[in-house]
Chain A
């Protein structure tokens, strides 16, 4: 069974400082990893994904994430946070293979608060 953990309920960071949102996963096969962002009263917006290839993935709004197979992690990063980055961030994993018809397993979410 696949699972994903976001160990921090909330991350606080000052504007201009680096932002990191942590995610670890567990799958029995090859993982497909995703990050989504949710602004208040809105749906989820896709940020980036790792399928294969380069371990460093770049996405929307200046975000990037690094796939680390040995640590089973996929942390989301941004070099310089903006107040507008304040939102709820979700990590998700899907197991690759013939039977993976599309089910994503989501973490509980991490609230990011960026202060001016």
Chain B
């Protein structure tokens, strides 16, 4: 089975702190994603990476950055946390593909609940 592991399930941080959310996948997937989930808004893509050191902005990248130094690991960074970044953050991964392979399933981690006070 595919396993996407988010190391921190629950975090409480202060406004202005630098926050790291770590994600590791064990299926040698090329693609990795960070989503944010808020009630009534569904999931919104923050950043996406299709290879080591490669990244693409999603729908809501402001206030976030990412790092992918190894294929299996994708980190989300909040440079200066703010209260409006209180949310559930979901990491995901999938095989890369175009055409029919673009239908590759995306697998999600258990989520990280971040509260910024």
Contact = CB atoms under 8 A, between A and B. Distances in A.
Q: Give chain A's interface secondary structure class.
A: loop
A94 B102 contact: yes
Interface residues of A, number: 29
B107 to A, nearest CB: 7
Interface stretch (A12-20, A45-53, A64-72, A79-87): A45-53
Contacts of A92: 43
Nearest to B94: A102
Interface in A91-116: 92, 94, 96-104, 106-109
Contacts of B58: 103
Nearest to B110: A43
13 contacts: A43-B6, A43-B108, A43-B110, A43-B111, A44-B108, A49-B103, A100-B98, A101-B50, A102-B106, A103-B45, A104-B43, A104-B106, A107-B42
Interface of A: 9, 32, 34, 36, 41-46, 49, 51-52, 90, 92, 94, 96-104, 106-109
